[in-house]
Structure 1
Amino acid sequence: MSVSITLRFVEIFRAHGVPVTFESGWERRGNGQTSAYEGGIVHHTATAVSNTRPQILVTGRNDLPGPLCNFAGLSGGGIHVVAANPANHAGASGGRSMGPLPVTTTFNRRVLGLEIVYPGTSPMTAAQLRTAKVFAKAVQQVFGSVERCRAHAETSITGKWDPGYANGRTIDMNQFRREAATINSGGFLMALSDHDQGVLLEAANAVLMGEAGKRAAGRTAAAIANTQGGVAELHQKVDVLGAGLAQVSEAVSRVGQVQAPQIDYPRLAAEVAPLIGDAVAQKVADVLRDRLAS
């Protein structure tokens, strides 16, 4: 159950345009408990803002073994899957605002945890906030209610205040849940990897501009391929670039691990049609299908 629920969350993340990467061994990692998931908890790591997951989330600390979360929320808006099985992140429950979640000493096995990688003494990035809302939306879709997504500050019996926006200040979770409940997916095109988006660009140019456009798009695609490594490294250091560059990391997740769903070419054509017209959109979809199959 742990793996299938985790993959359902991954599916929802990707449907909302959130890139997903995986820690090696994610499907086996856990604290030894059997999951009985029925909700989710949002935390902050109390570490520096980063687009890579802190090692502590995987291996734990001296007084608490890892994993310390199921998902890490990266600065660029990506999700890194750390563990499918229960993590040591929630402690006992019974805090000031439990919603429909249970009061129990074995709360870790009841909730999936999202650790947002930022200190909590200042706001998370806009990309992280959107992804956190997508996490809450996934809780709603999987477990039936957005109220089943709580802040650690709401469930903790030891005075935790995460996730925060200033020292000791928790974000407004009622507003957070209201906004999460109405968040829309990014559409099918948003879920394409960088590679597939590049192929789509090349296909569109080939159809719309003929061979000259095809050659230009090919040169563009080659330039993108040659600089992906540099962009990925830059993205780890420059948070201001935002969620756009985070999509670079999705290409990695599609090698091995979990494959993205098959491309629905008629749906793709329908989405592009308002921009370039029905007939041309169908040609673009057909060319894209042929090129990705080759």
Structure 2
Amino acid sequence: MEKMESLEVFYREKMGILPSEIFRKTGHFNVFTMEDYTGPKPAYPMPYSRKDYYKIALIRGAHTVEYADQTYQVENNMLMFANPQIPYNWTPSDMQPVGAFCVFTEDYMKGFGNITDYPLYQPGGTPILDLTNEEAAQVMELFNKMFTEIASDYPYKYDVLRSHVFELIHKGLKLRPATAAEETGSNAGTRIASLFQELLERQFPIESTVQQVKLKTAAEFADRLNVHVNHLNRVLKMVTGKTTTQLVQERLASEARALLKHTNWNISEIAWCLGFEDTSNFIKFFKRKNISTPNQYRS
């Protein structure tokens, strides 16, 4: 897997600039057109990698997007919400894409709400939206507000821009399909379910062959959450429709597919990273989840 792309690398290699305000103590924000992005240096093929910054992008036209282990086909216009935890890349059908995007750091949003609480940034969310031309035009209006504001002399413009970021996020939330859990409403178990998902996701992505998943069983998660394993299973079944074991195994299988697809690590290395001391057990697990062996999937 490619090394995490820093904000400094993004500016130097893809924008041909390094603005001094990138090092502002209050965090960084900037907004660009797609022409800015593709101008100084061709951006394709884009490496599959994590970034150390958040990005929201509207790109007109059809696209193929690889996000974690999933592949999305966008037919019309793409609205993408990328975060530092998930590796991704995208390939446009048109090599001169049109649209806009903004980038910002976690520090920029600190103290103004936790955006990772929103479903767009949570595991199992829908971070890639396929918009109609009318919906894309509405989103572009929000980006145009950003362009106008960032070019102004208003001393508090970065506070206003922060509000526009939240506007974009909420626009995306309104356009995305609701999950089954959201449709049934909140309940007393949602906090435990959220803490479980946070614990599970904190172990990923696997970025080196010396990194290993430590929490793999329902009992281990229940112990960390200080709840009885049966209670954890009941809560997760109620909120997600799946047991603790099912959720953990699905996440391990997802990471396995990503590693097989985007690294050249051997099967034993991947097995160990995912907590399988015996490679043969990993192969059996993978085949049960994917109806193919790891080598068959990779080829």
TM-score interval (norm. to shorter): under 0.3
More RCO (CA 8 Å, sep 6+): 1
TM-score by length of 2: 0.24
TM-score by length of 1: 0.25
